[in-house]
């Protein structure tokens, strides 16, 4: 977790994923990608909805060429 900003009805969660694509058919390349989620908080205090973003083109580039 990079950052978490909580407001009344929403929270914004910034994250960074660091790892390597080593699964079946993986490239073995290391990746580092950041993104964020905007969470809608329900009346019960739990996450009622989530919309996230990250640079998918940069992620694909790192899978092919490495980046972390």
**pLDDT, averaged across the chain:** 93
Place of tokens 């978490």: 4
In this structure, what are the phi and psi dihedrals at residue 12, rounded to the nearest 5 degrees? -115, 120
Place of tokens 């092919």: 64
Domain parsing of the chain, residue ranges = 3-65
The pLDDT tens digits of the residues spanning 7-59 come to: 989 999 999 999 998 989 888 999 999 999 999 999 999 999 999 999 999 99
Q: How confident is the model at residue 68 (pLDDT cuts 50, 70, 90)?
A: low
Instruction: Look at residue 4 and tell me whether its pLDDT is greater than 90.
Output: yes
Q: Give the residues across from 37 on adjacent strands.
A: 13, 52
Quick one: tokens of 62? 């790192």
């Amino acid at each position: 977790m990079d950052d978490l900003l909580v407001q009344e009805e929403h929270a914004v969660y910034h994250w960074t994923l660091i790892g390597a694509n080593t699964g079946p058919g993986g490239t073995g390349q290391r990746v580092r990608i950041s993104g964020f989620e905007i969470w809608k908080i329900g009346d019960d205090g739990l996450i009622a909805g989530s919309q996230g973003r990250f640079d998918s083109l940069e992620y694909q580039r790192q899978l092919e060429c490495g980046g972390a």
